Each structure stands twice: as C-alpha cells, then as structure tokens.
Amino acid sequence: MTITRRQAIDLLDRHHVRPSRALGQNFVVDPNTVRRIARLAQIEAGDPVVEVGAGLGSLTVALVEAGADVTAVELDRHLLPVLDEVLTESDPRPRIVHGDALKLDWSRLLAGHSRWQLVANLPYNVATPLVLDVLDGVPAIDRMLVMVQREVGERLAAPASTPAYGIPSVKVAYWASAEIVGRVGPNVFLPRPKVESVLVRIVRRASPATPADPGRLFSLVRAGFGQRRKMLRRALAGRVGPDDFDRAAIPPEARAEELSVQQWGRLAGAPE
C-alpha cells in the first residue's frame, strides 16, 4: 500500500517526527507518482534495486509491488521506526540500512548481485555528488532513475551548447547516457517545496565515451568551465597549445560549453 498525504501526516504525528529542512526532506505522498517512478525505472521481477533516502517508504512499497528486490538506505534514524511499520507487510520485505549514502561501503552493501539499479528521490544538496560518486566508483550500479530538483536534473542531462551544460553534464556523459523522462510538480510532496522536480534516467555506458585519460580530461574540463566566459585558448593557456587545438579539430575561439565530451577527449589527447 503506497502512502497518501493524510496517511503520511498521521504516520509522522504518531512517531513524533517532523520533516527535516537540514536533510532536505520532502516526502512523496502521491501513490500515482511513486508508481510512475517504478514504471519508468523499467523494473523486472527480481531486479536488485537500491533506494537512497527511503523516507516514509512510499516509493519503497511501489518498488516492491513492481517486483524489485529492494535495499532501502535511510540516513535519518528517526524514520527507521516509520519504515519498519510501513514495510511490515511488504513481500518480499526490503532490507533497511541506516547510513549516509555519501559514505557507504558500496561493495559491502551491494554484495550478492553483480548488477544493480539505483532509484531515489534525492534532496538538492546530495543529488549531484551522489550521482557522480556512483558513476565514478560503483560500477555495479548500471542504471539510475532519480527524482531531483529541476535545475539539478537539467544539469545532469544537458547536452553541449545548452544553458544548463557544465562540469556535471560532462562527467555524466563520460560514463553514461542521461535523459529527463518526466516532470513532477510540488503538490505531490510533504511539505510542498517551492521548486519543480524532474525524473532523470541514467544508463551506464559499456565503456567511457572517450578513451582519453580521465585525470587529464577532467582537469581540462574544470579549467575550461572555471572561466567559461573566456575562449578556450585563454581559459586553457599553458595546458593546451595551438597544435593541440589543430589536432583535435577544435577552434581555439570556442568556449567550454560548446564542447561535447568526445571533443573534450580529443583536446585531452585521446587518439582519433
């Protein structure tokens, strides 16, 4: 049974819990929304899914109903009794883990399956670092479906030469393909935020988008976007010379936001 707004308010009252602004807690209290998330995650029976920020368990229940084998991670210890109550009759019962997703021992958490999907309603302050950390260091997670603030989602999925394109966009594109697959209004949350949210699907590539050395690649990306109003010949002065621009077939007058991850790779010295 997914949780309605009235049920969520009753749960919080009975357990003497209030949403934490410091933790960015906005609980999903619309059954149609959590079912939509589970559907867009394209879950098949038995799929191992790790949910970050389980909250009141509404999305957790929808994932179980879709057939997922769920490991639910929750940082707020005050919500653990709420989750325990909500998930009591779930079949199969999810594994509940108390922990900080930015400090998890992922290899231990995900032991037992070689491939996982991450599904989550992520608060603004952890969304970008969590997604990038997972792409960088948790290859067992090969798909993600995350609900994030609209501006965050647009940055994660932005293509080159668009206003939202930046360092996170290049990092995501290096490891994966990303697209916005849905929009979510503030009315489905408790409390209601003042921003819109989006659903972003991220699918890991079989291999990175460019064979360039990632250390060199992202050193250039950071330098370029650190002075994004400047032409690259100035922003990357001392790092990339005229011959490097010629070899990469990139105009030195270009700016950072104009380059795709493959072009950044060529500039970093990836073979043609």
* Per-residue confidence (pLDDT) for residue 85, from 0 to 100: 94
User: Do residues 233 and 159 share a domain?
Assistant: no
Residues 115 and 183 in one domain: yes
One domain, residues 224 and 125? no
pLDDT at 153 over 90: yes
pLDDT in tens, 31-55: 999 999 999 999 999 999 999 999 9
Residues 236, 111: one domain? Answer: no
pLDDT above 70 covers what percent of the chain? 99
Query: How many other C-beta atoms are found inside a 10 Å radius of the C-beta of residue 89?
Result: 9
Q: pLDDT tens for residues 200-227? A: 999 999 999 999 999 999 999 999 999 9
Residue 180: inside a domain, yes or no?
Answer: yes
Domain membership of residue 240 (yes or no) is: yes
Helix and strand numbers (H, E) in the chain are 12, 9
CATH of the domain at 88: 3.40.50.150
pLDDT at 1: 62
Q: Find the domain containing 226 and state its range.
A: 214-267
Report the share of the chain in percent with pLDDT over 90: 92
Q: Which residue, 204, 238, 253, sits at the end of a domain?
A: 204
Mean of pLDDT over the chain: 95
In a domain, 42, yes or no: yes
Q: How does pLDDT run across 165-197, given as a tens digit for each residue?
A: 999 999 999 999 999 999 999 999 999 999 999
- 146 and 234 together in one domain: no
Distance CA 247, CA 105 (A): 42
Same domain, 107 and 149: yes
For residue 192, what are its two tokens? 């209601």
Residue with tokens 């360092």: 167
Sign of CA dihedral 204, 210, 216, 219: negative
Q: Are residues 150 and 111 in the same domain?
A: yes
Q: What is the CATH number of the domain that holds 238?
A: 1.10.8.100
Over residues 62-90, mean pLDDT: 95
Residue 272 lies in a domain: no
**Co-location of 39 and 106 in the same domain:** yes
Together in a domain, 161 and 259: no
Residue 105 lies in a domain: yes
pTM > 0.85: yes
Q: Look at residue 35 in the predicted model and tell me its pLDDT.
A: 96
Q: Two tokens at 19?
A: 């949403």
pLDDT (tens digit, 9 = 90+) per residue, 110-145? 998 999 999 999 998 899 999 999 999 999 999 999
As for how many domains the chain has, the answer is 2
Are 146 and 245 in a shared domain?
no
CB 73 within 8 A of CB 104: yes
Q: Which of 184, 204, 224 finishes a domain?
A: 204
Residue 115 lies in a domain: yes
In the predicted structure, residue 272 carries a pLDDT above the cut 70: no
Please identify, among 181, 204, 227, the residue that sits at the C-terminal boundary of a domain. Answer: 204
Residue 209, in any domain of the structure? no
Same domain, 21 and 77: yes
Give the confidence band of 270 by pLDDT, cuts at 50, 70, 90.
low
Same domain, 9 and 121: yes
Does 159 map to a domain?
A: yes
pLDDT band at 271 (very low <50, low <70, confident <90, very high): low
